[in-house]
Amino acid sequence: MKRILTAALLFICLFSGCTREAKTDKDIFSSNDTEISHTGNASATREIFAMDTYMSLTAYGDHAETAVDKAISEIKRLDALLSVGDEKSIVYRLNHGEKADSEDVTFLIERSAWLYENTDGAFDITLFPLMELWGFTGEHPAVPEQSDIDKTLVLCGFDKLIIENDTPEPKDGQGIDFGGIAKGYTSQRIMEIFREYGITSGVVSLGGNVQCYGTKPDGSLWRCGITDPDHPDDTSALSGVISVDDKAVITSGGYERYFTENGKTYHHIINPENGYPADSGLKSVTIVSADGTLADGLSTACFVMGKEKSFAFWREHPELFDMVLITNENEILVTEGLKENFSSRKDYTIIK
C-alpha cells in the first residue's frame, strides 16, 4: 500500500465548539461565533506525528505557547482514546466486548448518527470489519473473496449497532472506527482551546485536514490549496485555491491510501452498500465548513455518494457547508457559496 505523505491540502503564503446540546441540523454542526480580536503578535508553532499522520499547529496571541501545548496534549489524548489498535483505547475496548463510556465517544456517536441518517448510510462508522478484511488496517492489503465480503457486510450498518446510554456496544464481530471523523473532531477541539486561551489567529493541519482560526495575523484570509488528484506529490500542480477564515477545509480522495492488484487500483474509502472501494465517479471531495467534525465526515460521505447525490444534499443544507468536487473526467465543480473564495488556473463550474 502506498501512503501519500504529501498533505491533501497545502497552505499557500502560510507564515513559515462543538455544541453538546445540539438539537437541530444547524446546531448539530456549528462553531462558536465569538468575535476574534487580532491584537497579540506572539506566536508558537509545533509539529507532531499522531493518528498515523504528520500534524502542525500555529497560534498567535499572548498565550500562544500555552494554547499550542494544550492542543498537543489534546491530540495525544484523543489519539489514545480513539485508536482502533491500542488495547488501552476506549474504541478497542468497545470493539472487544468491554463496557466503557466517554464524553467524546458519546459526542461522536451523536454526530455519526446524524451523518449516517442524512446521507442514507454513506457515512458509516461500523465498516471497521470491512477495513480489516481488505487489509487497510495492516501492512498487506489485498482483494478479499466475494463470499467473505458478503459475510462481513452483514455485520455492518450503523442501524444494527446497539447503543445503550449513549454508548455503542458492538456485538458478534461488529466493530466501530471513528477514523472518518476523528481528525475533524480533533481540529474542532483545538479551535475551542484556541478560543479559551484568547488566541487571535491560528491554523492547524492534521495530515491534510486543515482548520483555520480567524484570519491570518495581517487580517487577510488563509489560502488552502487543493491537491491535483492525478499529481498528488507535485505541490505546484494544484487543482485550485480556497480562501477562508474560521473554516475547516478537508479533502478525501482515492489517491490518499490505496494498493494495486492485478493491474487494478483499490482505494480505502469503502462503499457501505457493496463492501468495495467506492466507485462514484469522483477523484476527490473537499468540504468547507465552520465545523471540522462535519467537514471530515462529509468529505467521506460525498465521495461515496457521487456528485448528483452530493449536490442534492448540499442544496438541502447550504448553511452548513460548501464543497469542491473533482470528477473522474477532471471536471472541477464548486458550490455557489465558494464562488468568491475559489480560484484556479483550470476551468471550473459553479454549481447553484
> pLDDT tens, 294-312?
999 999 999 999 999 999 9
| Positive or negative: CA dihedral 157, 268, 52, 211 | negative
Q: What is the pLDDT of residues 104-127, one digit of tens each?
A: 999 999 999 999 999 999 999 999
Residue 176 to residue 88: CA distance in whole angstroms:
15
CB atoms within 10 A of CB 205: 25
Residue 232 to residue 234: CA distance in whole angstroms:
6
> Cβ distance 195 to 17 under 8 Å?
yes
pLDDT grade for 207, boundaries at 50, 70 and 90: confident
> Cβ distance 130 to 153 under 8 Å?
yes
Beta strands per DSSP E along 207-331:
209-213, 222-227, 238-244, 248-253, 257-261, 264-267, 282-289, 322-327
Q: Which residue has the cell 487489509?
A: 135
- For the chain, which domains are there? 42-84+179-220 (3.10.520.10), 90-176 (1.10.3980.10), 243-352 (3.10.520.10)
Is residue 335 exposed (0-12), middle (13-18) or buried (19+ Cβ within 10 Å)?
buried
Q: What is the pLDDT of residues 150-161, one digit of tens each?
A: 999 999 999 999
pLDDT at residue 330 in the model: 96
> Cβ distance 303 to 326 under 8 Å?
no
The answer to whether the predicted template modeling score (pTM) of the entire model surpasses 0.85 is: yes
Q: Calculate the average pLDDT of the chain.
A: 89
pLDDT at residue 40 in the model: 53
Between 273 and 167, the higher pLDDT residue = 273
